[in-house]
Amino acid sequence: MTLARHHGGGMILFTFFVALVLTIVPLPDWMRLLRPDWVGLVLIYWCMALPERVGVVSGWLAGLLVDLLTGAVLGQHALALSVVAWLTLRFHQRVRLFPMLQQAATVLVLLILHQLLSLWISRFIGRPGVDWVYWAPSFLGMLIWPLVYSALRGIRRGFLVN
């Protein structure tokens, strides 16, 4: 396993860059609460597709950037996303073979886990509670998972990322 075998790391970084931009891109007020967890989706894909390149530490770093970008307490999304990456790594061989519907359901669970951990932390530091709309982004994330999946698979194959 040498570094020379790796290829297309720039594309992985680029997809994370796009996901981070989508995380803070301005939306109309009614859509702000529905914004899908782009970073979570991209992280889950790469953990599943290239578990030897993207993993817990990548998830943690991406989460730290999300914390900085969204003004959350440092470490909130970092912790949640590293747990998501860990779970994805644990089950990536199984989830990869799932049919799309089942895979989307797994992604829903992972996204909800991200939101749940994040909510616990923000409740712990005294932020107010949330209503049911808070969970909508996870379900939206599940709905767009097939699109994200095929787009990222196109990138992975097109740019020979391995």
Binding site for another protein (CB under 8 A): 1, 5, 17, 20-21, 24-27, 29, 32-33, 35, 51-52, 55-57, 59-60, 63-65, 68-76, 78-79, 82-83, 86, 89-90, 121-122, 125-128, 130, 134, 162
Which lies closer to another protein via its Cβ, residue 26 or residue 99?
Answer: 26
Please list, residue by residue across 32-51, b when 16 or more beta carbons sit within 10 angstroms of its beta carbon and e when fewer do: eeebbbbbbbbbbbbbbbbb
**Which candidate, 63, 80, 52, places its Cα nearest to that of 16?**
63
Q: Which is nearer to another protein, 70 or 150 (CB)?
A: 70
Whose Cβ is closer to another protein: residue 42's or residue 64's? 64
Nearest distance in Å: CB 145, another protein? 22
Cα separation, 62 vs 12, in Å, equals: 12
Q: Residue 159: CB partners within 8 Å, gap ≥ 6?
A: 8, 11
